[in-house]
A and B are shown apart, each in its own frame.
Chain A
């Protein structure tokens, strides 16, 4: 789709979709430029007071060690958005790739892949993540891998059911009768017709990943200091909950606005395209 096509698509979105698009674009921009516009270093102790309220120096107040919440938020957003985006891309590419392989491949391969995925899906995602973090320690790479692996089976199931449905259609039969190879059947005949429902799935999965990563960070098993994502910002300031400190409200609201925005955008985009 050309740039003009995208602008047109954005213009015809319903109001909720425009709101979602605005929120999502806002967070993408923050993820890209956040550290550049942060007024202080995220690790610097700049305030004498902990859990300070909003002031002209510290827009969102200070945290439990007297660091600037705004700066930490601007830096942390990059981890949450970036890590989730990488993980969701990995999960979807792997899941959809395996699904297409299963759909056009021999029957035994389909059985093997489907049963393997069933096994993976039966493991509760949080516990799976906890066990792996406990075993291998927490690192950026490991977190990304764990989260991707957790969300591969769901994507696989959806993509496979789409692909199996398409596999029966006459245009795929025609291509098969023409003598086309499996790669062509999967990538040229089937994949383009799966993209729309898959994007809805990817969007949803992005939200789940944001929440899982934040959850892990909240439990202290996610990103380790000095790095911090939105989830760990909530966790480290949890002692401020009693004072309803801005330091805990702001990152929580940030997570909410990112996930709600993504959901609104997906809903609007898929509804508009269903017509």
Chain B
């Protein structure tokens, strides 16, 4: 290409004032070009400066950061000069799609009014023309009932739909540049695929130029033409997608690629003992009035059973709303089940915390997803761990201090961290402290509720390794809850798949390596992006659900309206039976093994 690039960035530096007041470059001498109609991906772990660069393209520095260097987008430059300034182009020639669309929409206004707002503010179109274009974009983004969806309010739409509506808002002014800032990170894998497909299609149709910020190489491989790998504000590597994935030139790129496929190094050598440590049977839980059989009006869990052996790791996966976190809350005694039993090493446990003995409580520990809110900001790390030691083991003073140091060593943090408050730690360090608090109780089982979901790929890999090592060294069992099947596969021996509170499949990890699966498991596995550029195109060969018009009913297969292999007159008349497959996994489906394998 001989023409001048559409976007030109030369020697971009973004400077903030550091702790001691000295200037600190959070983006350091970054240069790149983007050709018209291409998508450049900025990739790196948190703190790599990828979002800062994306914001600098709009002439915006967060928290008084100073942007220096040259940026040209179309005719606009940072300082203005002959053309317009970047700042004047915001929302018009340069638009932005944020990570959380749910938080970016005004809940009290209809979405279409918000989507066409940029066109009206910048006077690029009349109201009627803007509405027509919005509906055209809704159609291109594969939104359901594109003609009328705009008249709804944000709370009536799902996260994936809102994310697509936000893309429509960004494209309404036919911008020179669209910046996507981790647009699918907060979505479920199954939703992510739909949103990515919609983005891709609309980009091809509109010929828009984009900058796509993400920490996930596999997602980026589907969306971008060029990839720029960043680490600590510096460019590590830039190349065309295919070339970069085939032959990464930089060590850091290779590390990112390795982290995309979590493989746990430390495998637990201990055989799973047949004696069950924790078993839950026939659990029902939910909200609203409870009927005689112990079934709540709005069930979150229906008839969930699972058994965890001593030192075993059982994974529970499912999308948001599947009730997977509720399983952990029920086991921990934070939510009383309306029916069913929980037993620990053969002894039945009371349904809530107040009915359990301290010893029973000690043996079951829970670790929450978000370490930012799971650790009390008013206490130091030493206080947090020390409280658990005193509470369960009666340890005080020097003995407790020694144990805190041991625990910190166990989670690979320096002993000096004990003096620090949690808000001085990084996300990965907080999650380690969060784990250490559970370990301090010396539990038999740790309930891990999405402990790796809020972390980026590199840190996630490190935490998974740590979990596997702890299991090998301490023999602790895990109930590992996640929405990411790759993470669960890396750590667990057994996997339970939940859909809308029902167990649709369970079996040993190895039985998830090849079909037959439950159709929902199939969808989950197929939705995990692969690290090759053509993956999303293959995935589009998706079969529509034949019985999508039916409403979901609690007495039938819950997955029916979304199931691509549903059979009318069979799936819509009776509840599905449990079938045991040859590989040992149990599947709740009307389809036989041979049919599912096909």
How far, in Å, is B363 (CB) from chain A's closest CB? 11
Closest to A189 in B: B376
Number of interface residues of A (CB under 8 A): 14
Cβ contacts A182-195/B at 8 Å (1 or 0 each): 00000011001100
Closest to B368 in A: A170
Residues on A with C-beta less than 8 A from B392 are 178
Q: Quick check: A173 and B334 within 8 Å, CB to CB?
A: yes
29 A–B contacts, CB within 8 A, in A order: A170-B368, A170-B370, A170-B373, A171-B373, A171-B374, A171-B375, A171-B376, A173-B366, A174-B366, A174-B368, A174-B374, A174-B437, A176-B334, A176-B353, A177-B332, A177-B333, A177-B334, A177-B353, A177-B366, A178-B361, A178-B388, A178-B392, A178-B441, A179-B353, A179-B356, A179-B358, A179-B361, A180-B391, A192-B376
**Is B594 interfacial (CB-CB < 8 Å)?**
no
Report the separation of the CA atoms of residues A4 and B378 in the bound assembly, to the nearest whole angstrom: 20
Residues on B with C-beta less than 8 A from A135 are none
Residues on B with C-beta less than 8 A from A174 are 366, 368, 374, 437
Report the separation of the CA atoms of residues A174 and B391 in the bound assembly, to the nearest whole angstrom: 13
Q: Quick check: A177 and B361 within 8 Å, CB to CB?
A: yes
Number of interface residues of B (CB under 8 A): 24
Instruction: Name B310-349 residues within 8 Å CB distance of A.
Output: 332-334
**Is B80 interfacial (CB-CB < 8 Å)?**
no
**Is B201 interfacial (CB-CB < 8 Å)?**
no
**Is A169 interfacial (CB-CB < 8 Å)?**
yes
Cβ contacts B434-470/A at 8 Å (1 or 0 each): 0001000100000000000000000000000000000
Report the separation of the CA atoms of residues A174 and B387 in the bound assembly, to the nearest whole angstrom: 12
Residues on A with C-beta less than 8 A from B375 are 171
**Is B23 interfacial (CB-CB < 8 Å)?**
no
Tell me whether chain B's interface is mostly helix, strand or loop, or mixed: mixed
Report the separation of the CA atoms of residues A173 and B366 in the bound assembly, to the nearest whole angstrom: 10
Instruction: Name B363-399 residues within 8 Å CB distance of A.
Output: 365-366, 368, 370, 373-379, 387-388, 391-392
Residues on A with C-beta less than 8 A from B365 are 177-178
Report the separation of the CA atoms of residues A169 and B371 in the bound assembly, to the nearest whole angstrom: 11
Given A178-B441, A179-B361; 10 other pairs, CB 8 A cutoff: A171-B375, A171-B376, A174-B366, A174-B374, A177-B353, A177-B361, A178-B391, A179-B358, A179-B391, A192-B379
Q: Which of B332, B366, B377 contacts A193 (CB 8 A)?
A: B377
Residues on A with C-beta less than 8 A from B387 are 188
Report the separation of the CA atoms of residues A171 and B332 in the bound assembly, to the nearest whole angstrom: 14
How far, in Å, is A249 (CB) from chain B's closest CB? 45
Closest to A172 in B: B376
Q: Which of A174, A180, A188 has the most CB of B within 10 A?
A: A174
How far, in Å, is B453 (CB) from chain A's closest CB? 14
How far, in Å, is B455 (CB) from chain A's closest CB? 16
Closest to A166 in B: B376
Instruction: Name A124-175 residues within 8 Å CB distance of B.
Output: 169-171, 173-174
Report the separation of the CA atoms of residues A176 and B388 in the bound assembly, to the nearest whole angstrom: 12
Residues on A with C-beta less than 8 A from B368 are 170, 173-174
Q: Which of A170, A173, A192 has the most CB of B within 10 A?
A: A170
Report the separation of the CA atoms of residues A177 and B352 in the bound assembly, to the nearest whole angstrom: 9
Residues on B with C-beta less than 8 A from A177 are 332-334, 353, 361, 365-366
Report the separation of the CA atoms of residues A146 and B387 in the bound assembly, to the nearest whole angstrom: 41
Closest to B449 in A: A170
Report the separation of the CA atoms of residues A193 and B373 in the bound assembly, to the nearest whole angstrom: 12
Report the separation of the CA atoms of residues A72 and B366 in the bound assembly, to the nearest whole angstrom: 63
Report the separation of the CA atoms of residues A192 and B387 in the bound assembly, to the nearest whole angstrom: 15
Q: Which of B333, B365, B378, B441 has the most CB of A within 10 A?
A: B378
Residues on A with C-beta less than 8 A from B391 are 178-180
A192/B334 contact (C-beta < 8 A), A169-B373, A179-B356, A180-B391 known = no
Residues on A with C-beta less than 8 A from B377 are 193
Closest to B364 in A: A177
Residues on A with C-beta less than 8 A from B353 are 176-177, 179
Residues on A with C-beta less than 8 A from B334 are 173, 176-177
Residues on B with C-beta less than 8 A from A170 are 368, 370, 373-374
How far, in Å, is B432 (CB) from chain A's closest CB? 15
Residues on B with C-beta less than 8 A from A176 are 334, 353
Residues on B with C-beta less than 8 A from A188 are 387
